[in-house]
Structures are given as structure tokens and as C-alpha cells.
A and B are shown apart, each in its own frame.
Chain A
Amino acid sequence: MTNYKKNVALLMMVLFLSACSDELLKGKPDTEDESGVQNIGYNDNGELEVETIAIDGSENSYVTELMQSESFSDPSSPLSKRVIYFEYDSSTVKQEFIAVIEAHAVYLTNNPNQTINLEGHSDERGTREYNIALSEQRAKSVYKMLLVLGVMSHQVNIISYGEEKPEVLGQTDDAFALNRRVEVVYK
């Protein structure tokens, strides 16, 4: 459930010619292919240039290693639990998740340079912007508990996705329950 972030560095600057300047309607130039790692364009001399983007794995591998460490991967460790689930239209943290939040708070206070994202989500029912607001409230409920437990505010970043990024597809109560969540994402 952890999002591994790609840290990409641009190696070469390329100038792009707009291929669609005479269109009535222009979109954002489509400069990336599906994999997102290569761009093709024409330079000032009119020559085709391929832009290569390196995947810098250093940060990625740090998080990967951390998540593979015993305290984060052993199912009996509360740090292995990094998703907090909520009831319908509620942002109240349920009793069963308090130990999980406490464990992350202890880790973060012991590692003051460690930062996390709290990513709030909702199920698909209801309006999309209301769900954005609701899932931010969920993330903030977790955030407030972390602060009370001694975590510094600069260690936590909140982002609210509403129903835009469901964990599970489907229209069952079980699917809805798995989508009403806050993900703790180590960075």
C-alpha cells in the first residue's frame, strides 16, 4: 500500500515545437509517453532529440529498505499497519487504530528527520468535492493525534484524494470500507 516515489532527474533540456499550433483547441502538450521516462522533440536546429530521464533510486531504496525492516514488515509489529480505516461519513479514529498511530508517533519522535504523508481517502458514495473535504478531515484526525503524541508538525504532510484513488474497485460494503482510509506513507 506504500507509494514508492520515483525521483526523476532531467539530464538534458529539449525544446519542443508545438505540433498543433493551428488547432482551435489546444491541450497541455503531450510530452510524455505511457512510461513517463522518455520524451522526443526537435531542437533549435530542427534535429530530432531524445531526452533521457534517469531514475534516481536513492530515496526510493531508502524507503524500500525501511519498509522491509523487521519493525515495519513483521505483521506483529504495529508499524507494519499503515492504513487507518474509518466509518461512513466519519472522521473519528476508531479505538482499534489508536495503538497503530501511537507506534508511528513513537517512531517519528525518535527519528525527527523522518517525514510522512497522511493521504486521506473516501469511498465512492456522495459528491466528489465533499469527499475531498471529508478525507482531509480523516487525515487531520490522525495528524492531531500524532502532534499530541509529540510528532513535529513539519514531519507530516497531508494530502486529500477523496474518492479519486480507490484502493479496491467494486460497489460492495466491503469495498467501500476498505476505501475509507488514511494511508501513512513514509518518505
Chain B
Amino acid sequence: MMFKKLVYLGVFLLSLTSHILHAELIIDITEGLQSKHKIAIVPFALHSASASKETEIMSQIINSDLNSSGDFAVLAKEAMLSSPTKVEQVKYRHWAVTGQDYLVIGSILQEGKTYKVKVALLDVVKKQQINELRLSVNANSMRKAAHHLSDAIYKSIMGIEGIFSSRIAYITTKTINKKQYSLFISDYDGHNAVAITKSKEPIMSPAWSPNGQHIAYVSFENKVSEIFVQTLATGDRRSVARHKGINGSPAWSPDGKKLAITLSKSGNSDIYILTLATASLKQLTRSWAIDTEASWAPNGKDILFTSNRGQGAQLYIMPSHGKSAAERLTFNGDYNAGGSFSKDGKRIVMIQAEKGNYRVAVLDRESQKITILSNGRSDESPSFSPNGQVIIYARRKEGKEILALVSVDGLKKRDIKHTSGSVREPVWAPKR
């Protein structure tokens, strides 16, 4: 039986028109699963007074999103036997014969400055429509709208949220005459990249606020380490920590009101809690050793951090109220550092070193099992996607620093190619 589910996505999108570097990053699949869902995305029909490329752009972006996820094999346009744009036109045998599991068709109707997009997802095997997606967008929002459609298609088939409309932040260095450090934010696929700050001195440790509206980071622009909080919508930024010594490793509390930071003003690196509204500072750790890289548990009650108080760098956890002692969390490997939680708090991603190889590892908190996900020599800065299924991290490829993605089971690996310079410290933005 055919059933129809209407999904209205109210997408009111602002456009990013200037200072945008297009296609800074390109996703390149390096390893993947054999069993992928086969899907065909037919170029959408455009009913418009003016000739336009919008139809091409939209179906191409959905194609590229699903393809890059590693969960789908997308049929080439040349291999399609027909080009339906309405459900009534679909001949299922045309898609079954090439072994497709799913089919996406659609049309775009221009009404003044608005484009009304109607997309249908069909199950080729069951010969039925799964759902229909509708949205209204302006011409500048086609890319964003396409990512939302990809998310909806992904969720219908995979049963979990997609990552296609998510954003990332990362640091780049380029050397022209002098070295330039930049903090970029972009779509997950590298489009709409905007440098939100630049400096000739190092910039590091970007951290998204839980609502995705602010980024905290460390900058050496004044020849000292200093923590700034920048508001993305206005560009306003303020210095929130500039104490003697280290000011580093900002981590937002889940309510967005506090930052856990690393300061060395009392002699060595310790973790402090900074309440942003009042600028009050509370010292959380007091050890002779290095304590740094704080990360809040999603419940706000615990703080994970790196310390070398035992033998070498290991992960520890302690209550954020600071009233009881820290417990050691990692015992395998020579070095475990830079830990952070998945959104559900069940997993911790970190860098684990063994025999001189620094790799991305995931700790399942319940089973205590650690899985090594990457295979580089100096992998760094892992960060969970909002849906918890993918980890973005920095690695070296032929001596160059690049970003890469790995699925949480370690089976799917993808590199993100950057056009120039070194790219590092990726952090996935929280879901908006």
C-alpha cells in the first residue's frame, strides 16, 4: 500500500554572499563498507520563468552528501534509463534493473523570488513512496536547503539524524610572506568557509558554545596566550582570560554559562571554571602535574581532563563541583589525551599513543572497551558529529595536515582535501 507522509521543513535561511571561499574542502572516500544502499537521484525539474542552475545544484548537492556519507552508492546520471520528476512517471523496473534500492525525484517551482521544492523518496524494492518533502527557499539558500533534504532522506532510510546541515570550525595556516593563522567555520563539506579571525601568531583550540552562536578560542595575537569568545552573528569578540602564563583549552559547560579553562598562573597547568556573566574564577584541580584539556560530560556534572599526575598523560574524571577527587579513566596505552564525550555521554573519543603512533580511539564507558579508529602516526583533535556516528579529526598525509572523517565503528574512512595550506583542529558544531 502506498502511503504518503508530508514533511514540511520551514527553512528561513539567510544567505552568505561575500567573503566566501568556495569549495575549500573536498571529501574523498578512502575506505568504506562493501554493503551500501544503492540510490538514484534524478535531476529535479525546474518550472521557472528564468533559466537557472538551481535544479542542477540541488540534486548535485544531495548526490554528493549521500555519496560522501559512505552509506550510499549513488547511481551516475548516464546510467539512468528514465528521468521521472513526478511519482506518476516512475517506472520501478527502470530502477530495479540497475539494482537500485531507493529513488529520489523532485521538482522546483519558481514563484517570484521563492522556489517551492517538492521531493519524493521511493522504495524501489517495495515499489512504493516512502515520503514527500516540501520546502520553500530563496535562490541563495539552495545549498542549505539541499543539505536539509539530504538529512531528511538519510533519516528516512538510516533511522538516524544526518550530518549534512552541520557545520565545523577549524584552524588553517598558510605561509605567503609570513605565516598566517586563521580560524574558519564552514559547512561540514567545506563550503561557505568564512575566516572569523586571523593572526600572524598562533590561534588554537576552537570550541563551539552549546547553542552554536559563539566560539571560544586561544589566540597569541598579543604575544601571550589569551582566550577570546566571539559571537558569530555580530563578529564581536572579547578577551575572557589573560592571566600570567597559560590561558588555554576552553570548554563550554552544557548550559553555555561557564568555560572550563587551563591556567598556569599558580605555578603549573590546572583547570579552572570561569563563569562568563560574572567573570568569577574557581580552581578545580590542584596538582603538581599538568592538568589540561577539560571537557564537560553532557549532564554537566563531570569534567574529563588530561593529566600526567600518574605515569605519562592519561584521562581523569572528576565532579565539576570539585568536592571529590579525580579518578583515573584510562589504563591502556602509553598516552591517552584530548578526550571529549559523545552527545549521549556513552562514549569518549581521545588520542591514544602506543609505540609512538598517535591515533583516534573511542572508549565505550559501559563496557570499558577501547577501539582504535585511525591508522596514522600523529592523528589529532577528534570531535564527534552531532549524531554521534562520525568523528572528524586531523591527520598527516604526505607531510601535510589535513582533516579526515571516520565512522564510530572505524569501518568508513574519508579524507577531506583542502585546497592549500595546513588544516587542523576540526570541531563539529552542535546541532542547531
Do A and B bind?
A: yes
Task: Report the contact-size class of chain A (Cβ under 8 Å from the partner).
Answer: 35 or more
The one of B15, B205, B235, B353 in contact with A27, judged by C-beta atoms closer than 8 angstroms, is B235
A133 at the interface (CB under 8 A from B): yes
Q: Which residues of A contact B378 (CB under 8 A)?
A: 124-125, 171
With most chain B CB atoms within 10 A of its CB, the pick from A23, A140, A165, A169 is: A23
With most chain B CB atoms within 10 A of its CB, the pick from A27, A35, A127, A165 is: A127
Least distance between B250 CB and chain A CB atoms (Å):
10
Within 8 A of A (CB), among B12-42: 14-16, 18-19
Bound together, the chains give a CA A129 to CA B338 distance in angstroms of 8
Bound together, the chains give a CA A34 to CA B337 distance in angstroms of 36
A179 at the interface (CB under 8 A from B): no
A170 at the interface (CB under 8 A from B): yes
The one of B15, B185, B338 in contact with A130, judged by C-beta atoms closer than 8 angstroms, is B338
Binding site for B on A (CB under 8 A): 20, 23-28, 30, 34-36, 89, 124-130, 132-134, 136-137, 140, 158-162, 164-165, 169-171
Bound together, the chains give a CA A28 to CA B221 distance in angstroms of 12
The one of B200, B205, B233, B268 in contact with A36, judged by C-beta atoms closer than 8 angstroms, is B200
Stretch at the interface among B43-51, B82-90, B124-132, B241-249: B241-249
**Does B177 contact A23, Cβ atoms closer than 8 Å?**
no
Least distance between A87 CB and chain B CB atoms (Å):
13
Binding site for A on B (CB under 8 A): 14-16, 18-19, 176-178, 180, 185, 194-198, 200, 202, 204-205, 220, 223-225, 232-235, 237, 245-246, 248-249, 262, 264, 268-269, 290, 292-293, 306, 308, 312-313, 335, 337-338, 351, 353, 356, 358, 377-378, 380-381, 396, 399, 425
The answer to whether A26 and B235 touch (CB under 8 A), given A132-B246, A133-B246, A134-B290, is yes
**Does B292 contact A133, Cβ atoms closer than 8 Å?**
yes
Interface of A is mostly: loop
**Does A127 contact B293, Cβ atoms closer than 8 Å?**
yes
The one of A27, A129, A162 in contact with B196, judged by C-beta atoms closer than 8 angstroms, is A27
19 A-B residue pairs with CB within 8 Å? A23-B16, A23-B235, A24-B14, A89-B335, A124-B378, A126-B358, A127-B338, A129-B204, A129-B248, A130-B338, A132-B248, A132-B292, A133-B264, A133-B292, A136-B268, A137-B268, A158-B245, A159-B223, A169-B399
**Does A126 contact B351, Cβ atoms closer than 8 Å?**
yes
Bound together, the chains give a CA A63 to CA B353 distance in angstroms of 42
**Does A126 contact B292, Cβ atoms closer than 8 Å?**
no
**Does A130 contact B197, Cβ atoms closer than 8 Å?**
no
Q: Which residues of A contact B19 (CB under 8 A)?
A: 20, 23, 27
B382 and chain A: residue at smallest CB distance: A127
**Does B380 contact A128, Cβ atoms closer than 8 Å?**
yes
Least distance between B238 CB and chain A CB atoms (Å):
12
Bound together, the chains give a CA A7 to CA B88 distance in angstroms of 74
Least distance between B357 CB and chain A CB atoms (Å):
9
